[in-house]
């Protein structure tokens, strides 16, 4: 820890001027006591600053976590036998962060869906991380996917199933893999880049 010695000395002299002539101490004795007080205050302030910085860093790290990651920790805490005060406080922080993460991700998913859909009959390139952790670049063609789905002709059960999947997994987007010539699902949460209509869009993948 680095201290501003000049500032500490100035603080000590403020104390000296305040108490000079009001005690039986000599100037050197008063200055010595003032320096001890100034150093004590400086160390306390440094400790408080350290705690505040740690809390801010923790809050920043929490704000960057994905909803899936936050939810996993929430479930672990909720299944714990005894939480205690610290556990309840942590659970509250996680729940607040989860709400923000879901809102942030929902907006992110909407943007990515719109970008991919804007390709229409043209090709778009999607870079994402697969379940096994490998990086994949997929060329998709939105219009072709529509030709291979029933849409309005689907049965009521089929439409309900599709709606349920969309609600439960808003991060999954059905696409047409132009190279494999087959329908696939892309996890929008892991998409780091979309190239469409000659423009490259970068994203932070979870």
Whole-number pLDDT of residue 163: 63
Please check the confidence at residue 195 and state whether its pLDDT lies above 90: yes
* Domain over 107-202 is classified CATH 2.30.30: yes
Q: CA–CA separation, 178 vs 191, rounded Å? A: 17
Each residue's pLDDT tens digit, 95-148: 999 999 888 888 999 999 999 999 998 999 999 998 888 999 999 999 888 776
Q: CA–CA separation, 149 vs 175, rounded Å? A: 11
Each residue's pLDDT tens digit, 4-63: 999 999 999 999 999 988 888 999 999 999 999 999 999 999 999 999 999 899 888 888
């Amino acid at each position: 820890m680095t201290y501003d010695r000049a500032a500490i000395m100035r603080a000590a002299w403020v104390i000296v001027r305040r108490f000079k002539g009001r005690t039986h101490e000599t100037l050197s004795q008063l200055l010595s006591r003032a320096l001890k007080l100034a150093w004590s205050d400086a160390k306390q302030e440094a400790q408080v600053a350290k705690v505040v910085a740690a809390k801010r860093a923790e809050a920043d790290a929490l704000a960057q976590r994905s909803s899936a990651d936050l939810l996993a920790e929430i479930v672990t805490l909720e299944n714990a036998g005894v939480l205690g005060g610290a556990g309840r406080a942590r659970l509250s922080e996680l729940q607040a962060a989860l709400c923000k993460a879901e809102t942030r991700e929902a907006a992110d998913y909407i943007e990515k869906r719109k970008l991919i859909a804007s390709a229409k009959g043209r090709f778009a390139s999607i870079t994402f991380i697969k379940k096994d952790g490998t990086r994949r670049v997929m060329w998709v063609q939105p219009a072709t996917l529509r030709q291979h789905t029933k849409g309005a002709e689907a049965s009521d059960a089929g439409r309900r199933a599709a709606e349920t999947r969309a609600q439960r997994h808003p991060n999954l987007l059905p696409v047409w893999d132009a190279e494999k010539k087959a329908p696939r699902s892309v996890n929008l949460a892991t998409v780091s880049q979309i190239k469409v209509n000659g423009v490259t869009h970068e994203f932070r993948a979870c």
